Chains A and B, each alone.
Chain A
Amino acid sequence: MYHIQGSQGIPPGNMEELKKRLASITIEAPKIDLPNDIDVDQLPLSYTQNSQKEELILSYCDNFKKQFAHLYRDRKPLFMTPLNECGIEKLICTSLHPTELPYKELYTYDGAATFVSDFLTFEPLTPTTEPPNILCSSTTILRRQKGNSFDFSMLLCSLLLGVGYDAYCVLGYASRETTYMDQSREFCPLITQQEELVEVEATKEQNKYTVKPPKDLRSKYLRDQDKKRVEEIKNEENKQKEIELKRIAALEKPKPDPLHGLRVHCWVMILSGKREVAETFFIEPLTGQARSAQDDNYLGIECVWNNLNFWVNMQDCSEGVQNMIYDLGDPAKWEFLFPNVDKPLLALHQKEDDSILDLDDDEEEIKDEQIDLPPAWIEAIEISRTEYQTRSPQGKKTILYKRAKLEKFAEYLVRDGLITKLSIFDDIEMKNVLKTKEWFKHRKDKLNLRCYDHTTGKITEEFSPGRIGSNIGKMQALKEHTFQYSAPGPENERVMIFYSPARVDGLVSREETPTSMVETFKDRPDFLYYRATYFGSRAKKFGPAKKYNPMTESERPILKIVERFNRNAEKLADDDVAERIFQISDNRIQLIYHLGDNRITASKREFLKPANAHDKGVTLSMTPDMTSTFQVDIHQKQPKLRHLYEMLTSLISEELKSIDAVRASEAEVREILIDRSKEETASELSISVYDTDRNVKAKLHREELLRQQREEELHRDERELDYLAPFLAQIENAENITRSNAYELKEKCLQDLKQRLIDQANLIQSRFEKETQELQRKQAWYQQNQASMQKEDEEEYLNYCSEAMFRIHILELRLNRHKELAPHKYLALEQKLRSDPRLAEFFN
């Protein structure tokens, strides 16, 4: 900026010198570096030139700016007509081009905002206290995928206006974090805060017959003392916690900002009213978050604009945007550029309010004329499908939050289908990783989310429904799988949760430790809901230590199986087993029955299993001392030994079944683990049949269809060949056919056809004759040499004969057909010629 001092402070003697000095100063317009990566020649004319209308508007704006500067000397110059990428001044309102794009996500404000924030890479303003010198068009920005907050806002505003929001760009001042897109003080929105479960106390209806509780005979004084002590401890703990929290907060507090309140920023405002927006709010374009209109990250507003008008804020911003009123029709609060815009002007106090600019006579006229804004000078915004899907440049984007790092990837970009990765850290410097969460999409193995917990060393994987293992026809239906990172093999600690309705056995979860396995079930017809198996250690083998291999290794011995059952309402409680314990190691089977109504004791029964129980073909012998029973109901008869015997035999077979089930479970675990490791190495992605770009098969199919269509067209062209064309070409004057010409044409045409028919007949005839002669010759040769012939040659001859006969027959048929059809063809052509539009007039 060039400041020239006023003349009164300078002594007259120095005037000459001053004049000289001033003369030596050459004033140049400040040089503005145009972005050099733009080929100006490629851009349309509206980018490099101003139309007449635009010039008119620009002069109008100039006038406004001058008046504004005159009236409000302490205000910054208005950012109304910035230069575009070609160095041409453009009205900022015409730089917005409301556009609706064919993507569903962009129809809502949050989808559009997220998209813009993902799509563009942020470049901070330099210097941060001034608006940019150049405001590029949104089309250029889209091509470069880079921009400052102004570029973000302009693009987002165009998209939002396109889908019907009452959106505005806002130029103002914001905090350092906001202007630098620094989210490291915010919590990542993906980290769901664990909500404290509010215990819903069942409000039990006070029944007047509720029994009185038994008298409490303990000392009240002692109880109160206890309570006090507990409370004291709690208070102490709370205090400690608070102190700790304060300490951390103090540590993490940002340094004071010397430029606080001076940093220029541009964001988007959406006014209430349209698209069912109930309350005015801001959108931070750099992060894509919606923020309230009172957000304390925004410190002041200079002006706002949309594609129709430009308003200058006349309200005091000393308290940020807390008390700002967004009634754009109130000229006391918002100074407008064009008075003609129909929408917001609600209360225009003509001339009573001195804050209104004194409008010149000229402008008065213009006002009467209703200023017509020139159309947007930028072209319509276009985003191709691949660009849309790739989103961020190179498809990757990283955001740093407070104690968290978020990485986003485009779909299908990473080979294993990773789309989002979130790392959560223990400290603000982000050194100690606590947890890593990875979200996947389109994976063939249906993996959705993998979560590493680095403190416990556990990995949790979550799957979508519909997982089928490599063992075809068997639904794995795995929902969640948690295991130790250090011990991924079978027979280690792990928890698997399944989609139980999808499984035949109704399995809900399976928890394993090296010595036990607990399975829970749901909705089984046999009422089983719990099975716990306890394993012993393998018998030690002597010899060199081999690498563990579950396929060859013997199975772990089962010590005990505990099975629990739900109550089967159809049976009596004393006949309905609640718990069944197979003490396999010491050959015992214990049964505990369900409790009857109003009972507090359950019946029990115990069997000693004969040692040879599992041998085949051996009849078990049974004596009364092999069982012991406790029956709740004294009056019930002791069951007969025969029943007990039947019970024992069935229990023995049940035991075998349970063991089989446990082994099957173990096998399934191994199978799942093998599948998982295979899937991890292959990490195939599934492609939807509707995805026309990626689905190779569909693409080929479509291309094939296209090709067929093209061929079809070609055929059609051929079919419509003009039979008169060669003859017409022989006539000199093809356009005007005379009567004689027409007759001649017809004659020639018919003649030609006749000739061809005859030729064809001759050809068939000659072939027929040739074939017959050949046959005759062959027959003659055969007659001669018949005696001396080999069997093979004879066979060959016979073959030849039958083939030749066949050929002759065919030729004969064709000849006959030709003879029959030829006259018809001839007549048909004649008829056609008679009715041909070019010749028709001569033959009527």
Chain B
Amino acid sequence: MSKLYDTIEPAVIDEQMLKQCVEEQGPKDEAGRIANQEGIDFNEVLHLRLDFKNILKIDNLWSFTNLVRLQLDNNIIEKIEGLNTLVNLKWLDLSFNNIEIIEGLDKLTQLTDLTLFSNRIARIENMDALKELQVVSFGNNLLKSLENIAYLRRFKNLRTINLSGNPFSEDDNYKSYIIAHLPSVIYLDYRLVDESLRHQARDQYEFSIVELEQEERELENKMIKEKAIEERLQKEKRAYVEYLDGPELFDQMVADDPEASKLSYLPGLADKFVELCKEIFQFGLKEHNKREEECNHFFSALNDAKNENRCIGIDAINIFEEFKKATFDDIMLTRDVQVVEAKLQELSDKVQSLWNDLMGLEMQLVDQLEDTIKEFERNMAEMVAAFIEHIQALFAQCRDIENQHFERATEIALETLEKLVKNELEEELPDDLRVLFVDKDTITNAVTASHDAHLVKIDNKEDDMVTRVNNWMRNMTDQVHEDEVKRNRSRVLEVTHLIDHYRDEIDSIESQM
């Protein structure tokens, strides 16, 4: 396969090779000296060059998580692999290797430059994740079919492309085909694309391109529509009323009921039921909006309070900083030990009072927030309770309807049975339905079973809604409390840290004196 195989042993990317490269390519001079002292972590490295190393397999690069630029050119790599952890990679050079298939690039979403020059690629594929791609080179490969170009249309930022040296480059229409099909490209095969050429190419392939564009647009529209539907569903889910805006629940009820289809000609249930479902749906959305608004109010108030408190704190610190600076300046100027001592004493008093102020502020905020959170919790609980109550009432209505329906169904069934027995039935019953009308017990059982199944469905739905809304509330309040505790901890820590820092400063000044 490769001319080098017989002569030179393929190399493996190992710790030693990486270390050597990093050191060689790392900082120079003084920075290099310091780096050597400290050592360089692989995850700090931004650029790595592994060229002319006879590497056969890409491996052991997982620790270079911040790598931006990776050069693996002039090796004997056959497969793109082991790059999944390098998510920050922007620049990848794999030219002059033996790669046959494009693969393993799915995680490199930041990639802007990709070079696969002089490989054995016959097909452009598996690059959907590279949304940011700007520069790409497929020169000197085995691309035969111009159809490959259509794949590149999805990269909207593509500006520079190199495709020379492929079998299809011999084609007379090669240039114009590419120019026509990739309108965003500015440089093709190291040259600026001429504007007149672009027009010409565009005219040449007008029909096929218009068709392509049409297809793309349709696809896009479809995606948008699907997205919209999905969004709507998500919103409804948040309001716990998904699949209630229409006959879905009823259909589901009926669908899972083996007897229903047979009894389906029996009239009456659907309309009223669907209406009730819609009511639940509307109510649910309304309540959801109300809850959301309430939450917004609460969180905005919370943020306002925090911000106000924060501003006061910042001001206090700034005032202290000014004072500190002035005091330090004074101390630098005076040589009188007593004066210095007095000044330092004053300063440490100020630090103490700053600590008091900041902690006082924090205590005050905690009190304020606690009250507010309690109030919010109370309101929310009330709201949710009211919501559940109303929903339950609506579901009770559903059950009533189902009961009525059951009664009438029984009645009709018995009547029909009677008629059937007397052979007075005008219309022909379908065969599978006729099976049920054997005797009274069978038909009654069938209707009862269907009824029970319906009731179970309704109960399930109700339970589902109630549990979910309760869970939501519990989670949210827990989250609020947790956040508040975290905030308080971090603030206290921050203040303590700051005060410690100030005290250290004073101490160091004192010791200097």
User: Which residues of A line the B interface, CB within 8 A?
Assistant: 207-212, 214, 595, 598-601, 619-622, 630, 632, 634, 640-642, 645-646, 649
Contact = CB atoms under 8 A, between A and B. Distances in A.
A214 B371 CA distance: 12
Given A207-B300, A211-B305, A214-B364, A600 B34 contact: no
B501 A211 contact: no
Given A599-B494, A634-B493, A645-B30, A211 B314 contact: no
Contacts of B193: none
A601 B497 CA distance: 10
Interface in B20-44: 27, 29-31, 34-35, 37-38, 40, 44
Nearest to A214: B364
B310 A598 contact: yes
A642 B304 contact: no
B487 interface: yes
A212 B371 contact: yes
A619 B371 contact: no
Given A207-B301, A642-B38, A601 B369 contact: no
Contacts of B487: 598
Given A600-B317, A634-B497, A645-B30, A210 B310 contact: no
Contacts of A207: 297, 300-301, 304
30 contacts: A207-B297, A207-B300, A207-B301, A209-B302, A209-B376, A210-B304, A211-B301, A211-B304, A211-B371, A211-B372, A598-B306, A598-B310, A598-B487, A598-B491, A599-B310, A600-B313, A600-B317, A600-B491, A601-B494, A601-B498, A622-B34, A640-B38, A641-B34, A641-B37, A641-B38, A642-B27, A642-B31, A645-B30, A645-B31, A649-B31
A277 B368 CA distance: 62
Nearest to B35: A642
B274 to A, nearest CB: 38
A207 B487 CA distance: 22
Given A207-B301, A600-B314, A645 B34 contact: yes
A209 B313 contact: no
Contacts of B358: 600
A211 B498 CA distance: 27
B369 A211 contact: yes
A207 B302 CA distance: 10
Interface string B280-320: 00000000000000000110111011100010011001000
B375 interface: yes
A207 B295 CA distance: 12
A641 B491 CA distance: 29
Interface in B353-378: 358, 364, 368-369, 371-372, 375-376
B303 to A, nearest CB: 10
Nearest to B310: A600
Contacts of A649: 31
Nearest to A213: B368
Contacts of B498: 601
Nearest to A600: B313
Given A599-B494, A634-B497, A645-B30, A209 B372 contact: yes
Contacts of B375: 209
Contacts of A622: 30, 34
Nearest to A635: B493
Given A598-B487, A600-B313, A632-B494, A642 B301 contact: no
A642 B27 CA distance: 9
Contact of B301 (A209, A601, A620): A209
Nearest to A596: B494
A598 B314 CA distance: 11
A202 to B, nearest CB: 12
B307 to A, nearest CB: 9
A600 B498 CA distance: 10
A209 B371 CA distance: 9
A630 B497 CA distance: 9
A214 B175 CA distance: 75
A598 B29 CA distance: 41
Nearest to A630: B501
Contact of A208 (B297, B317, B501): B297
A526 B368 CA distance: 40
Contacts of B313: 600
Contacts of B364: 214
Given A214-B364, A598-B310, A598-B491, 4 more contacts: A600-B310, A601-B495, A619-B30, A640-B38
Nearest to A621: B30
A209 B30 contact: no
A645 B35 CA distance: 10
Nearest to B362: A600
A209 B298 contact: yes
A575 to B, nearest CB: 14
B138 to A, nearest CB: 33
Contacts of B306: 598
A212 B31 CA distance: 55
B368 A620 contact: no
A347 to B, nearest CB: 64
A620 B30 contact: yes
A546 B369 CA distance: 70
A591 to B, nearest CB: 15
Nearest 10 A/B pairs, CB to CB:
A209-B301, A211-B368, A600-B313, A211-B305, A207-B301, A619-B30, A642-B35, A601-B498, A209-B298, A642-B34
Contacts of B298: 209
Contacts of A646: 27, 31
A210 B305 contact: yes
A627 to B, nearest CB: 12
A100 to B, nearest CB: 54
A601 B501 CA distance: 11
A640 B371 CA distance: 45
Interface string B443-455: 0000000000000
Nearest to B44: A640
A274 B295 CA distance: 60
Nearest to B28: A619
B38 A619 contact: no
Contacts of B302: 209
Contacts of A208: 297, 301
Residue from B297, B358, B490, B494 with most neighbouring chain A CB atoms (10 Å) = B494
A595 B298 CA distance: 25
Contacts of B300: 207, 209
Contacts of B305: 210-211
Contacts of B34: 622, 641-642, 645
A641 B31 CA distance: 9
B378 to A, nearest CB: 12
B501 to A, nearest CB: 5
A369 to B, nearest CB: 81
Nearest to B39: A640
A601 B318 CA distance: 9
Nearest to A209: B301
Contacts of B314: 595, 600
Residue from A207, A211, A601, A640 with most neighbouring chain B CB atoms (10 Å) = A211
Contact of A209 (B35, B297, B497): B297
B401 to A, nearest CB: 40
Interface string B30-62: 110011011010001000000000000000000
B58 to A, nearest CB: 28
Contacts of A630: 501
A209 B293 CA distance: 12
B299 to A, nearest CB: 9
A333 B493 CA distance: 89
Contacts of A634: 493, 497
B487 to A, nearest CB: 7
B494 A619 contact: no
Interface in B429-459: none
Nearest to A646: B31
B371 to A, nearest CB: 7
A212 B368 contact: yes
A815 B281 CA distance: 109
B28 to A, nearest CB: 9
